[in-house]
């Protein structure tokens, strides 16, 4: 087990390193002229100034040297400085991370818990009204792109309610948890729903299919004939086996979750990592982009290791090797 985890961490580190190489390579193929962007109208008249700024940023050196500088600083936990705000990238990430974490973790909890629960309920009552309702929900959830759903929710639940005199849902923005927990919660309800619905639909269908299959197994009949309560049969014996593919799906969805967070932050004006990276990209703020991409890939890789370990916990038949 421990050997397996160590090996996965090593291969994961290689994946992250490869990704950092690719990001660097992208900017080497088409290097953005940062000095021009920074200097604006001064750039046209003063070639000397452009050269000075380029040298200051270390952009006049060969890509290999630049990459080496980046790596050595990275080992010391230094991600460089933003070209624009001149703040350390680690500070910027420190400000944005709580927003994205609140959004992503909350949404993931909502979609996994409610998706699996609705899926189990539909599977235990196939073709019932509830089952049909959940099917309809899945269909709508899968076909609504995140940003369309988010804007629609804003229009109906923020603007229309606001016109009707109900100001429950705010029209966007973020309030830190430490500042006001209730406002934090209220501000995140619509973003959570927006981010959760599409994935929730997938989990409802997946859980339903898996549960229908598992509930037909012999050991479920055995458990029932043993006189166990139906709830125990379904949740302890049935759901546990059905959870394995759901956990796999969750591993895949972590990358999707980050993409969804970018879009959701854009819709609701949340200043998280997603919005930060979109701004960085339009400004060609290279250190920020590289840091966010790296952080995101570390996150995806770690999530996948956790998923692999969870397999073994959930399904004793899985041998880690």
Partner 1 sequence: MSASELSEVADLPDPAVPQPGVERQVEGRSPWQLAWIRLRRDRVAVVCAAFILLLVLVAILADPLANWIGYNATDQDQVNGITADGLPVGPDAHHLLGTDNLGRDILVRIIFGTRVSLVVGVSAAVAAVLIGVIVGLCAGYLGPVVDSVLARLMDVVLSFPFLLFAIALVTVVGPSELIEILVIAFFSWAAVGRIVRGQTLAIREREYIEAARSLGAGNLRIMVIDVLPNLMAPVIVYVTLLIPVSIVFEATLSYLGVGIIPPTPSWGNMISDAQNFYQVAWWYLVFPGAALVLTTLAFNLLGDSVRDALDPRTERLFAK
Look at residue 88 and give its three-state secondary structure.
Answer: strand
Closer of 14 and 109 to partner 1 (Cβ):
14
- Interface with partner 1 includes 38 (CB under 8 A)? no
Identify which of 87, 269, 309, 64 has the alpha carbon closest to the alpha carbon of residue 170.
269
Both structure tokens of 255: 């990358």
168 binds partner 1 (CB under 8 A): no
- 202 lies in the site for partner 1, by CB under 8 A: yes
Residues 266/147, Cβ–Cβ less than 8 Å = yes
Contact pick of 256, 271, 314, 320 for partner 1 (by CB under 8 A): 256
Residues in the chain: 321
- Of 59, 118, 234, 267, the one binding partner 1 by CB under 8 A: 267
Given the structure tokens 């996994």, which residue do they identify? 112
Site string for partner 1, 121-160 (x = CB under 8 A): ------x---x---x--xx--xxxxxxx--xx-xx---x-
Binds partner 1 (CB under 8 A): choice among 15, 312, 314, 320 = 15
Return the residue of 6, 180, 259, 318 that touches partner 1, per CB under 8 A: 259
Q: CA–CA separation, 252 vs 257, rounded Å? A: 9
* Contact call for residues 232 and 115 (beta carbons, < 8 A): no
Q: Using CB atoms within 10 Å of the CB of residue 97, give its burial: 0 to 12 exposed, 13 to 18 middle, 19+ buried.
A: middle
User: CA triplet 213, 193, 132: central angle to 5 degrees?
Assistant: 40
In the shown chain, the binding pattern of residues 279 to 308 toward partner 1, with x for contact by CB under 8 A and - for none, equals --xx-x----x--xx--xx-xxx--x----
Structure token digits, residue 304: 């996948």
Nearer to partner 1, 49 or 306 (CB): 306
- Whether 161 and 173 have beta carbons less than 8 Å apart is answered as no
Residues that bind partner 1 in the complex, under the rule CB under 8 A: 15, 18-19, 23, 26-27, 29-30, 32, 127, 131, 135, 138-139, 142-148, 151-152, 154-155, 159, 198-199, 201-202, 205-206, 209, 212, 245, 248-249, 252-253, 255-256, 258-259, 262-263, 266-267, 274, 277-278, 281-282, 284, 289, 292-293, 296-297, 299-301, 304
């Amino acid at each position: 087990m421990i050997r397996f985890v160590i090996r996965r961490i090593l291969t994961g580190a290689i994946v992250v390193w490869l990704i950092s190489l690719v990001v660097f390579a992208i900017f080497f193929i088409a290097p953005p002229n940062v000095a021009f962007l920074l200097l604006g109208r001064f750039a046209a008249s003063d070639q000397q100034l452009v050269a000075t700024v380029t040298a200051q940023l270390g952009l006049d050196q060969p890509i290999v040297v630049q990459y080496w500088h980046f790596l050595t600083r990275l080992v010391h936990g230094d991600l460089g400085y933003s070209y624009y705000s001149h703040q350390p990238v680690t500070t910027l990430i420190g400000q944005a991370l709580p927003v994205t974490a609140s959004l992503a973790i909350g949404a993931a909890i909502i979609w996994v818990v409610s998706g699996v629960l609705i899926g189990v309920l539909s599977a235990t009552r196939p073709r019932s009204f509830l089952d049909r309702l959940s099917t309809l929900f899945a269909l709508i959830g899968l076909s609504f792109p995140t940003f369309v759903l988010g804007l629609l929710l804003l229009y109906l639940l923020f603007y229309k309610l606001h016109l009707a005199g109900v100001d429950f849902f705010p029209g966007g923005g973020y309030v830190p948890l430490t500042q006001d927990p209730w406002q934090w919660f209220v501000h995140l309800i619509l973003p959570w729903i927006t981010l959760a619905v599409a994935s929730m639909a997938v989990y409802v269908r997946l859980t339903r299919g898996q549960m229908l299959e598992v509930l037909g197994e012999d050991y479920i009949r055995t458990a029932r004939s043993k006189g166990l309560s139906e709830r125990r049969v379904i949740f302890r014996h049935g759901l546990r086996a059905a959870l394995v593919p759901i956990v796999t799906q969750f591993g895949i969805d972590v990358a999707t979750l980050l993409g969804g967070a970018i879009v959701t932050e854009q819709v609701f004006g949340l200043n998280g990592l997603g919005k930060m990276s979109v701004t960085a990209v339009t400004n060609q703020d290279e250190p920020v982009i590289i840091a966010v991409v790296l952080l995101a890939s570390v996150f995806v890789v770690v999530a996948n290791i956790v998923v692999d370990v969870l397999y073994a916990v959930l399904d004793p038949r899985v041998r880690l090797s």
